């Protein structure tokens, strides 16, 4: 069951470049684990963004085998390329109890047409997210849990080598296809090796070897 909520500042739920008059029209949808945000073949009328929780895009083969195409977490848009289509070709399903923000596609399209600065910012944001998704797929193809974690750290680290944990550790582990226990074990090992140190919700790369190793992936 989907319940509409309106108890949070809507402007803060979207990127800063989103115009106030657009975000003022947003609605919040509360979903239980297993609820659908949208279903296959449903007309596309809204653009969704995850506020909390996790949403999967699921497709079914001709043999009715389930294939997870993508997973979105906090701060990510759900199937944002759907703004160019008429119907959904997959279903969006809540993996956990989740909260999503919803914008009417017609309002979004109108703002893209009227506001060139907004349209350019959206295009740049799409390009950034495409790069992030490519790196995510690359990371999931790395067999070693240790190398998978290092890959994410090198991708996300700022100039000072600091990485802010993207949400709870359980969600971070799930995003890399790891268990929470495996992630904890890898981080403890890297800390013992002097590759990083943990500082609250931040990780800091402190090893010159680690920074050189990042170049193997072409990230730095």
- C-beta of residue 35 within 8 angstroms of C-beta of residue 1: yes
- C-beta of residue 167 within 8 angstroms of C-beta of residue 71: no
CATH code of the region 2-133? 2.60.120.10
What's residue 6's pLDDT?
Answer: 55
Residue of 62, 35, 61, 60 lying closest to 48 (CA atoms): 35
* Residues 88, 175: Cα–Cα separation, whole Å: 23
Q: Which CATH architecture has domain 142-217?
A: Orthogonal Bundle (1.10)
What's residue 110's pLDDT?
Answer: 94
Q: In what order do the strands lie in the sheet with 27-31?
A: 2-5, 27-31, 98-104, 46-52, 77-78
> Is residue 37 helix, strand or coil?
strand
Domain ranges within the chain, ordered by starting residue:
2-133, 142-217
The answer to whether 2-133 and 142-217 have equal CATH topology is no
What's residue 29's pLDDT?
Answer: 92
Which residue ranges in the chain fall short of pLDDT 50?
1, 209, 214-220
* Residues 46, 79: Cα–Cα separation, whole Å: 10
What's residue 69's pLDDT?
Answer: 81
> Is residue 207 helix, strand or coil?
coil
What's residue 141's pLDDT?
Answer: 87
Q: What are the φ and ψ backbone dihedral angles of 47, each rounded to 5 degrees?
A: -115, 130
With vertex at residue 9, the alpha carbon angle to CA 4 and CA 11, rounded to the nearest 5 degrees, is 105
């Amino acid at each position: 069951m989907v319940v509409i909520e309106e108890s949070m500042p809507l402007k803060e739920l979207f990127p800063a470049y989103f115009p106030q008059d657009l975000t003022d029209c947003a609605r919040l949808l509360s979903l239980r684990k297993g609820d659908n945000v949208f279903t296959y073949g449903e007309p596309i009328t809204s653009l969704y963004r995850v506020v909390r929780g996790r949403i999967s895009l699921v497709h079914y083969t001709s043999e009715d085998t389930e294939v997870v195409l993508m997973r979105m977490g906090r701060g990510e848009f759900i199937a944002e390329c759907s703004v160019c289509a008429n119907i959904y070709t997959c279903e969006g399903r809540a993996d956990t109890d989740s909260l999503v923000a919803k914008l009417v596609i017609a309002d979004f399209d109108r703002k893209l047409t009227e506001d060139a600065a907004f349209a350019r910012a959206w295009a740049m944001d799409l390009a950034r997210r495409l790069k992030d998704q490519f790196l995510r797929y690359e990371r999931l193809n790395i067999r070693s849990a240790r190398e998978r974690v290092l890959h994410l750290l090198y991708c996300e680290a700022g100039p000072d080598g600091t990485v802010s944990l993207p949400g709870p550790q359980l969600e971070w582990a799930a995003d890399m296809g790891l268990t929470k226990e495996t992630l904890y074990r890898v981080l403890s090992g890297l800390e013992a090796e002097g590759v990083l140190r943990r500082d609250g919700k931040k990780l800091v790369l402190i090893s010159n070897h680690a920074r050189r190793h990042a170049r193997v992936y072409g990230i730095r």
